[in-house]
Structure 1
Amino acid sequence: MTAAAPSSALSHIRVLDLTRVRAGPTCCRIFADFGADVIKIEAPQGVDPNEGMSGQRLGYDMQNLHRNKRSLTLNLKKPEGRAILMRLVETADVVVENFRPDVKERLGIAYEDLRAVNPRIILASISGFGQTGPYRDRAGFDQIAQGMGGLMWVTGAPGQGPMRAGIAVADSSAGIYAATGILVALAERERSGEGQWVQTSLLQSQIAMMDFQAAAFLVEGKVPGQAGNDHPYSTPMGVVPTQDGFINIGVGGEGQWAALCRALERPDLANHPDYAVQDLRFRNREKLMTELAAVFATRSSADWLRTLDAHGVPAGPIYRVNEVFADPQVQHLGIAKPVRHPQLGDIRLVGQPIDLSRTPAGIASPTPDAGEHTEEILRDIGLDAGAVSDLRAAGVV
């Protein structure tokens, strides 16, 4: 396997990654994949009481989240460890952390502490509920944010109770929003010469991801409910059973409705008094979907998808994850990226969903062992082998 070339897009940026679990690592992964020097700072073995929360080092999640980074072990509970962090801050551009808000204050690594060392530093803080307010010190997890952000009452079938989404929506979106904030701060720093404090939380990010559902309440006072596999406002748009499985259809306007009726060879539906326009179809959704289900049940999913495509009706298969990566369009997009791991061998990871024409993202190296680059990084700030050995003996690195 040929190693991918690292991206040069952000090779001038150094990021100190103090994060763990998912939201923070998602943020830092973006910078690492676009070529930034991301130093993953983690506690030496046995120091962190929650060690292992992020999963097994050789497991799929750690490998997917921490590729392209260098690893430094550093005990921030010791003053010598904090002193080393501050020396790194002197030449860094960004620090990313997802401690509870009070932790960085206790450690003496809050924004004002970092800014005193390097006025150009950008601190990105990702918390469960925000850096201030009545919930600031609560522990936050993705599912808790899904519930508090409204997602679980618009997910799932009506009447079956709240349902979590099958992915970590709040965690992942918080990481992406944090990265967006950092990029804005970096761009602004070009003009002002100063860094700033970027903040987001799982709760804010989950609410932002609610988007039109949240706007329906804020603008018109509507409280959206669960719609199952149906779109909350457009019909027919959702899952239909076929002879051998299920497919998604999406009919967003009158032209597409007419095209669907032609594809189904059911011209009688096009101007039916219960279905002629979108409002009527929505009002009579249950009856309409029952009629459509009877038609779609007569042929296979593949047959219907060919027919619908030929008529210009938006439709698609409903894949399990193994089927996703077997799809020819997914393979063409190349989002499954190969990398060679010294212990796991040749593996594939999920690439960035962004293509740049000159400086694309790349996965050049797998997740490092804990502390793999400790001596290398400490040499960069002027410590010799003897000093590193002393720090190891003292439990600092």
Structure 2
Amino acid sequence: MAGSEGALSGVKVLDLSRILAGPTCTQLLGDLGASVIKVENPSTEGDDTRQWGPPYVQDKDGNRSDLSAYFMSSNRNKKSVALDIASAEGQAEILRLAAHADILIENFKPGGLAKYGLDYATLSQKFPRLVYCSISGYGQTGPNASKPGYDLMAQGYGGIMSLTGAADGAPMKVGVGIADVMCGMYATVGILAALRHRDQTGEGQHIDLALVDSQIGWLISEGVNYLTSGQVPQRRGNGHPNIVPYDVYETSDGHVIIAVGNDGQFQRFCQFLGLEELADDPRFARNPDRLENRDALNAVLRPALAALSMTEVIAGLEEKKVPVGPVQQLDQVFDSDQVAARGMRFAMQAAPGQVELIGNPLKLSRTPVTYRRPPPEFGADTQDVLGSNDPFED
């Protein structure tokens, strides 16, 4: 996709992060037009996720590249530079790149870059306009600051696993690295806020972001439910803590989601099922009553829905203006007309061959996102960047 300059065209990002949280942030900045240089460690053959496969992209001869699907999910619109920051030469090159950069993002353990002279305290003295974002498991302060943090640990420590899974089952992680992804989103928001401050005042600043903090931050209603009531929320499978019926229901040939958000929708839902008496039953007439009698209501609804097909349920409830939808597998998702219409699947030509990627959901009317660079092979841009007077030139 080519076209007008992105909203962040001219912004230069030095990316010292790896795995998912930091790369998610820098890919988003790159999609919005920023120039991103990703620094990778030659002693580990680059970002850890290059080895997190299969699947991998293969070249025309069937040889495996270092482009794993996991790596590609968060590393387009970047140049890859192989640099050993433990060496004096590598440190000097990072300083040269930082002199050009607006933003530096890193996810080393707290204090890990100080021994190389690449920590915020040191770089802010040299480059006071630099926006410096540090991502770690538990943040730069607190009793757990020195502990390593991965997505799964953040989901466990931050409480989301205690809310996820079957009511009578074990705590369950979310199916993707959502703590990492959301941390990357918070990092993006923080960086853009810091850039606005920098552009108004000339002052850079440090952004201290923790996986666990961001995970706790998006507990949202369940977190405030606990803070308000003092009652620890329990796992409910796909059920909603505050609305009934709002769940996944089995039909004769698949599963549907039914999300009844108010009492009027419940009345129309009951009409569709031919169970109008439920809407008049004092146990179910109002949402607080339905919450109290969730199991009794579902005992009536589940067999009634199981006797119908997915098509019947979806068409019938859509006609009644009751929110309903299918539970789709990924082949159905990515082959859908909706995905095609919204540009949520696209192809790029990478070094080993064509790759398919997930589109950016942002639709900006004046400065649309652009996909200018495919996910890079390890160190592919090292010589160009190190030998350039303008290393961020896109």
TM-score scaled by length of structure 1: 0.91
- 3-state SS of paired residue (1:126): strand
Superposition map of 1:115-134 within 5 A: 115-134=124-143
Distance in 2, Cα, partners of 1:294 & 1:309: 20
- Residue 380 (structure 1) aligns with: 388
CA deviation vs aligned residue, 1:171-197 (integer Å, no higher than 9, x gap): 111111011100000011121111000
> 2:225 aligns to what?
216
Whether contact under 8 Å (2:350, 2:376) holds in the other structure is: no
Where does the alignment leave 5 or more consecutive residues of structure 1 unmatched? Answer: 384-397
Can you list the C-alpha shifts for 1:96-117, whole angstroms capped at 9, x where unaligned?
A: 0001112111221111211122
Return the match for 1:69 from 72, 75, 78. 78
Which residue matches 2:375? 367
CA deviation string 1:76-124 (max 9, x = no partner): 0011110111111111000000011121112211112111221100110
Note closer, same or farther for the CA distance 1:244–1:7 as it changes in structure 2 (3 Å cut). farther
Q: 1:382 to 1:196 in 2, by over 3 A?
A: closer
Q: Does 1:355 align with 2:353?
A: no
1:20-59, aligned counterparts within 5 Å? 20-45=18-43, 57-59=66-68
Distance 1:77 1:59 in 2: 26
1:51, distance to aligned residue in structure 2 (A): 8.6
Q: Give the Å deviation of 1:65.
A: 1.3
Aligned residue for 2:106? Answer: 97
**Is the CA contact (8 Å cut-off) linking 1:339 and 1:364 kept in structure 2?**
no
Deviations 1:317-362, CA, capped at 9 Å, x for gaps: 00111111122222221111221123132x2211222110011112
Following superposition, the deviation at residue 381 of structure 1 comes to 3.4
The CA distance in 2 between the partners of 1:148 and 1:46, in whole Å, is 29
Distance in 2 (CA, whole Å) between partners of 1:137 and 1:247 is: 45
In 2 relative to 1, CA 49–203 (structure 1 residues): closer, same or farther, beyond 3 Å?
A: closer
**Equivalent residues in 2 for 1:131-142, closer than 5 Å:** 131-142=140-151
Residues 15, 92 of structure 1: 8 Å contact kept: yes
| Alpha-carbon distance between aligned partners in 2 of 1:248 and 1:50, rounded to the nearest angstrom | 37
User: What is the Cα-based RMSD across aligned positions, in Å?
Assistant: 1.9
Structure 1 equivalent of residue 94 of structure 2:
85
Change (3 A) 1:47 1:169: closer
Deviations 1:275-313 (A, max 9, x none): 111122111111211211111112210121011001000
**2:184 match:** 175
| CA distance in 2: counterparts of 1:309 and 1:35, whole angstroms | 40
Q: Deviations over 1:34-90 (max 9, x none)?
A: 111100111224577969566562211112211111111111001111011111111
Q: Which residue of 1 aligns with 2:63?
A: none
- CA distance in structure 1 between the partners assigned to 2:47 and 2:295 by the alignment: 53
Distance 1:265 1:143 in 2: 45
Q: Please give the per-residue CA displacement for 1:231-278, whole angstroms capped at 9, x wherever unaligned.
A: 111101101111111100001111111111122222111101321111
Q: 2:311 aligns with which of 293, 297, 302?
A: 302
Contact between 1:337 and 1:363, CA under 8 Å: does it hold in 2?
no
The corresponding residue for 1:337 is 346
Say whether the 8 Å CA contact 1:6–1:34 is kept in structure 2: no
- Residue pair 2:50, 2:71 contacting (<8 A) in 1 also: no
The answer to whether the 8 Å contact 2:104/2:132 transfers is: yes
Q: Which moved more, 1:178-187 or 1:63-72?
A: 63-72
Identify which range, 124-133 or 277-286, moves more after superposition: 277-286
Letter in 2 for 1:17: D
Write the letter of the residue equivalent to 1:299.
L
**Do the aligned residues in 1 keep the contact of 2:19 with 2:47 (CA within 8 Å)?**
no
Moved more, 266-275 or 229-238: 266-275
Could you tell me whether the CA contact under 8 Å between 1:89 and 1:117 is conserved in 2?
A: no
Question: Is 1:192 aligned with 2:190?
Answer: no
Amino acid across the alignment from 1:296: L
Question: Contact (CA 8 Å) 1:6, 1:361: kept in 2 or not?
Answer: no
Distance of 1:53 and 1:104 partners within structure 2: 24
Report the number of matched residues.
Answer: 380
Q: Describe the SS at the equivalent of 1:101.
A: coil
Change (3 A) 1:224 1:375: same
Any idea what SS the aligned residue of 2:366 has?
coil
Matches of 1:340 and 1:48, distance apart in 2: 21
% identical equivalent positions: 37
- 153-162 vs 9-18, which moves further: 153-162
- Assess, with a 3 A threshold, how the Cα gap between structure 1 residues 38 and 382 changes in structure 2: closer, same or farther: closer
The TM-score normalised by the length of structure 2 is: 0.92
Q: What stretches of structure 2 of length at least 5 have no aligned partner?
A: 57-65
Following TM superposition, by how much is the alpha carbon of 1:160 offset from its aligned partner in structure 2, in angstroms?
Answer: 1.4
The offset of 1:218, in angstroms, is 2.0
Aligned residue among 137, 141, 149 for 2:158: 149
Matched residue, 1:389? none
- CA distance 1:7–1:155, shift in 2 (3 Å): farther
1:81 partner SS: helix
Preserved contact between residue 23 and residue 75 of structure 2 (Cα < 8 Å): yes
